[in-house]
Structure 1
């Protein structure tokens, strides 16, 4: 059972390095199973302390090899090959020849490396997600494109229009490194047969900055890896990613805590509105998007405030660009973008709803921005928490062929000049039609504070603090004292009876 576990306990690990990979340190430990049964000689250890004897035993049992990222170490057969300049034909081989000659008494290693320039193994292939609908649209556009109308087109150009190879996409860039055990047999410095065993492979995705380590980091004492075809040799993999990340994590958490405390202090500092005024605090969040056609999606928002309201906050902006998460049912984009508004108006007025216009926009592999859908939300200032799922639609030209061609080649055109057409479509003459697309998920929370002459209305949210109530009580007490003083002044000269 132990042999079975040793054979199938190799799994890959993924890491996101916080520091340049030049600070990476890879440690390989080798040991033989038979070395555990080897008994030390009494004469070699009788004059040393117990601690020294234990260190000697450990050093005899485990061999250690330390490598840096893209550190080239030669095996014995590589050393023989590159030492002779007549065996070097390529530019890389000549470079290795110069490396060996520049280092005096260079020692080849039993455990050596293949770096990225050696191209020992192919790098991972990115999992390209092709949008089916965009490919159908592309084929439809090419089918409708008549090459006879563009003049004399050569056969090679016709092949270019028919081929999908001309559709360039963002290729993920990779760098690789392999640490290998040389088990080859030599006789009189001549190679009898070549045998190598890859101990660990490291693949760095330069585009997204993550590192794949296969097999993953392990403990040689409790989870040693066996070398294929040589199960009597076990090894372990240790990696140091540079500086300790614990202090940086603590600093990051402290910064987040300070920002959170500052924001909470601002929210909890209750300031009464002036007499005859009412305030609304709105926290609006764009949560997610689902079921749109294209990937790399972001959402723009435009907020129009009624004339009877004064506003403090961002009335337009956009979310970050998000890649979709694919589930069994649909594609989903996550945002969590927050917009905070502070509104004020006179008491006794029921303000009109805020007009919030949302536009989902995609970025394709040519850097073109396409409108994927519009949505409109009339946000009423009712206190409490609310959540809505907004269906989106995209304006499209009445000519389907022209609309598909324009959308594919130039990303479409802006058919909506005034966003008010989304709120009042009956008041506008449009020469386009709407196509249903995906949907947006939003939620918001509204808190109301007001103070009118003669009475006081406390905050409508259930989370009002004690300081808010005390401040309100002080305001009522001041009004009472003022009224009492006015009454005393008016009745000062009146007779007692």
Structure 2
């Protein structure tokens, strides 16, 4: 039974291994009374506590086999154990993080109750990955050796140099499952439990604590096919009430300091707009353009601010995307731009009338193509009215381009480059410079081209939103009506449609004769 838990006051692990059948011939150690007859052993092991195996006892007893200061330290500890009556563990031992055998990961061995376990290829390859601590430093001369190219690396060389740079301390709880008289042979060593602790304090125990799942099984190869069972339990003592309260106070102090640090980064004052002002943030993206005739597309766009709208001095209201090659997607050629842009603008309320709503800014754009000789062609014009509702919006806008009669213009566009262009891009809608009553486009020929996809994240900020939600008063101003999120998306559309219908009715009444209007009115009022 192996246990490893939250290492707070006294980290420890309890290991217990038992064999299902006892061998017939006892070893010399058991004959002298040093080994239990029922082949059952239990050990409580602390974090990085060293328990020597029979192989290590035989190895470090000879002082000439010691190669490092750690080996000589083990030599002295083994001599002290012999003077005090020898070691108490026989089959269960450990490899700590500083041992030369710590880089040995779990190899292909059965550690489950299934008789048909098959180790996957990923598990076999990951078993050769070694995690080293960051405080390890290369030995002398390693700088020169690291520059030498090893054309035929060995398996040990690959395993030792395949490093994951994660500071991890490792400890192995092992078992010597050899037969009587054969203890201390490396081929009978098996991993019972692997404990790893990283720099973040995360403890990894593999396999997990036993609990109610039953004991783990290890099947030995050979004539007898011995079956060993072992369990894993947490042997760490419970934390005292005083230590737990002290730990909670430390955590609380740490969290409060971290909160003060974050508040210092953000600031104590939240930036608010002036009264009667609406701030509009737009984090947009030109996603793609599809359905155009030529390749190597780019988009030029600019934002038009209507009356009562303004923008900061640092705000750029225009931009150009990168030139993007198209790829086949079904029947269309699609150019993926993924070009981000940010817009910030302010609306200052001046008219308090009930029926007036602000005109929203319009984003005009044109799609152009670039040929091999760096000549551009206009592929299409379009416009997008920024959404009046906050949130996320995906818009696919169709485009068109002007054309001339005959084939000469198309031949010129293909061979020489260039095409009919608009002097004013706002001509896509009603130009801002137009002051008349009727805009005639008779004789202006166009051709439908592809479409451009936009993603817009809109955010609105105003003091009127806060006041209307807090006081529950009747919405009187324009900004108050914009604050109604449930009605905001359709309010502008409904009012605009109502005003158009009202103008049509007035024009129809003006076109009718006066006597017909009076007759209709008198007929309506008759009972």
Whether the TM-score (by the shorter chain) exceeds 0.5 is: no
Higher strand share: 1
Q: TM-score, normalised by structure 1?
A: 0.37
> Whose radius of gyration is greater, 1 or 2?
2
Q: TM-score, normalised by structure 2?
A: 0.35
